[in-house]
Chain A
Amino acid sequence: MTASVLARPRAAATAPARKPRRRLKPGRPIPFGAALGPFLLLAVWAVGSAAGWLDSRTLSAPWTVVTTASDLVADGRLQDNLAISAQRAGLGLAIGTVIGTVLALIAGLSRWGEAILDGPIQIKRAIPALALVPLLILWLGIGEQMKVTTITLGVLVPVYIHTHNGLRSIDSRYVELGESLRLRRAVFLRRIVLPGALPGFLLGMRFAVVGAWLALVVVEQINSTSGIGYMMELARQYGQTDVIIVGLVLYGLLGLLSDGAVRLAQRRALSWRRTLAD
């Protein structure tokens, strides 16, 4: 749709007498525009550090952060902590996604399921996952179980909400089509329900991956002995801002990467959609 609008020859530009029509759109995208803001920020940081405006105890210089990062990689601390963190986040994400999807399917496909499940999950949604941490510590201790459970709870809710919403918004005409073709329940699920709910599910996943890292930060800064959060917490006790910033950059990169991965999956899986964004 958009393509045809853009491809239309510009009659106004070729007609000599007519004044060109005022363009109301913001204009052409700037190349690498998305990188411009972060780059400026980095430049201010570097100049500030070099000129001595920024105390290294408040904020270490960018180059200090880079050398610290390579030191941490050299002695293996960064990889070890990253591996532990990634394992926690991945495990919580996987379990939360499965539970959230299954619950959404049950609630979406049966009135009883919806009546029983939807209320509690909406209540859970109103309680921040992190507010449950004290209770979870009492129940599960401070080990891996508590950490993974907290992440799972944070992931489950967005996956459920968006998948359920996706299921509910499947056009009833397609359900009628399935009835008219006398589809078996399994075929109906595979061909109509699951692909119909996929856009919702993937949107839920984008919130879920961010939620997983978020929950990870919190659980790793309480009573932890490993992970990026622990590394940062330890650095706080010793006043090592450089290590803290390495951790922050790492969290940011992980969040960006995982969001990008879901977006890529989204583009692949939803290639049948023709939207304005294409």
Chain B
Amino acid sequence: MATHAGGLTATRPVRVQGLVRGFGERTVLDGLDLEVGAGEFVALLGRSGSGKSTLLRALAGLDGDVTGSGLVDVPENSSVVFQDARLLPWQRVLDNVVLGLRGSAAPERGRAALAEVGLAGRERAWPSELSGGEQQRVALARALVSEPELLLADEPFGALDALTRLRMHDLLRELCARHRPAVLLVTHDVDEAVTLADRVLLLDAGRVAVDLAIDLPAPRSHRQPQFLAYRESLLRALGVDQTEG
């Protein structure tokens, strides 16, 4: 059985020890250890099938039906952003944002969250009337409106076009600076990881193979030499040879 120990550690919101997860015969996570500090932005890289999403789902408590063991200690108040915006098509935008909120202040907080992602005035729109990028912004507003201590994001920009993705990076960085949640961002995009994260983890064979602190001044850009150095070392660890290209 998967174990989920609820609890709160002020300094280290996320603590994972000896996490094992598997599907049938195949072991995906094999004794993984992970700690994420308060307000820390961690990007999770890895080849497809390396267990990135499995780890994220374990942290989100969305893997009730898998076999596994290990300690997972995450804050009670955590939010998930999925790859698809996952808005309820039959609820208007504002109702989607406040879906998980209780109390009479919910609409007000929802409006404020929508304004923060630049969608003030679209409260009464149906999700189908929004573009893909706008839908994902609503999903971000929904995730942050509850002021989570931990934000779990599973390739949230994977389905967006390159230009929209860059705008979303800026937005996410702003929002994280303001709300200071701990973030675990699963991505397959090395540039995205280096641009956004304080720390990049590389998952391989069910464990954390590389743990790289990114020490770059903001605003980060592809033109910084250190940026390229981080990028290259991560690509090499992923098994991509840059010299050929």
Q: Number of A-B pairs whose CB atoms are under 8 Å?
A: 46
Complex interface bits, A51-67 against B, C-beta within 8 A gives 1, otherwise 0:
00000000000000000
Chain B residues whose CB sits within 8 angstroms of the CB of A198 once the complex forms? 90
Q: Which A residues, 170 to 189, have Cβ-Cβ distances below 8 Å to chain B?
A: 173-174, 176-177, 179-183, 187
A273 near B99 with CB under 8 A, answer no
Complex interface bits, B115-126 against A, C-beta within 8 A gives 1, otherwise 0:
000000000001
Complex interface bits, B67-109 against A, C-beta within 8 A gives 1, otherwise 0:
0000000000001101010101111000100011000000000
Measured CB to CB, the closest approach of chain A to B181, in angstroms, equals 15
- Given A180-B62, A182-B100, A272-B128, the answer on whether A174 and B79 have CB atoms closer than 8 Å is no
Chain A residues whose CB sits within 8 angstroms of the CB of B84 once the complex forms? 173
A174 and B86 CA atoms in complex are apart in Å by 7
B99 near A183 with CB under 8 A, answer yes
Q: Is A196 an interface residue when CB atoms closer than 8 A count as contact?
A: yes
Chain B residues whose CB sits within 8 angstroms of the CB of A192 once the complex forms? 88
A274 near B60 with CB under 8 A, answer no
- Chain B's closest residue to A183 (CB) is B100
- Given A176-B62, A180-B60, the answer on whether A191 and B91 have CB atoms closer than 8 Å is yes
Query: In the complex, how many residues of chain B place their beta carbon closer than 8 angstroms to a beta carbon of chain A?
Result: 19
A196 and B91 CA atoms in complex are apart in Å by 10
A180 and B60 CA atoms in complex are apart in Å by 7
Q: Is A195 an interface residue when CB atoms closer than 8 A count as contact?
A: yes
Measured CB to CB, the closest approach of chain B to A239, in angstroms, equals 55
- Chain B's closest residue to A199 (CB) is B90
A173 near B88 with CB under 8 A, answer no
Measured CB to CB, the closest approach of chain B to A113, in angstroms, equals 20
B90 near A173 with CB under 8 A, answer no
A198 and B89 CA atoms in complex are apart in Å by 12
A271 and B126 CA atoms in complex are apart in Å by 9
Give the dominant DSSP class at A's interface. helix
Chain A residues whose CB sits within 8 angstroms of the CB of B82 once the complex forms? 173, 177
Measured CB to CB, the closest approach of chain B to A172, in angstroms, equals 11
Chain A residues whose CB sits within 8 angstroms of the CB of B99 once the complex forms? 177, 181, 183, 187, 191
Measured CB to CB, the closest approach of chain B to A276, in angstroms, equals 13
A272 near B89 with CB under 8 A, answer yes
Complex interface bits, A155-183 against B, C-beta within 8 A gives 1, otherwise 0:
00000000000000000011011011111
A272 near B126 with CB under 8 A, answer yes
- Chain B's closest residue to A195 (CB) is B90
- Chain A's closest residue to B64 (CB) is A179
Chain B residues whose CB sits within 8 angstroms of the CB of A273 once the complex forms? 89, 128
B88 near A195 with CB under 8 A, answer yes
Chain A residues whose CB sits within 8 angstroms of the CB of B88 once the complex forms? 174, 177, 191-192, 195
Chain B residues whose CB sits within 8 angstroms of the CB of A272 once the complex forms? 89-91, 126-128
Measured CB to CB, the closest approach of chain B to A31, in angstroms, equals 31
Contact of B90 among A176, A179, A196 (CB under 8 A): A196
A273 and B142 CA atoms in complex are apart in Å by 22
A187 and B82 CA atoms in complex are apart in Å by 21
Contact of A274 among B61, B86, B95, B128 (CB under 8 A): B128
Chain A residues whose CB sits within 8 angstroms of the CB of B79 once the complex forms? 180-181
Which of B's residues lie within 8 Å of A, judged by CB? 60-62, 79-80, 82, 84, 86, 88-91, 95, 99-100, 126-128, 142
Interchain Cβ contacts under 8 Å between A and B, 27 examples? A173-B82, A173-B86, A174-B86, A174-B88, A177-B82, A177-B86, A177-B99, A179-B61, A179-B62, A180-B61, A180-B79, A180-B80, A181-B99, A181-B100, A181-B142, A183-B99, A187-B99, A191-B91, A191-B95, A191-B99, A195-B91, A196-B90, A198-B90, A272-B89, A272-B127, A273-B89, A274-B128
Other A-B pairs beyond A173-B86, A176-B62, 13, CB < 8 Å: A173-B82, A177-B99, A179-B62, A180-B60, A180-B79, A180-B80, A181-B100, A183-B100, A191-B95, A195-B88, A198-B90, A271-B126, A274-B128
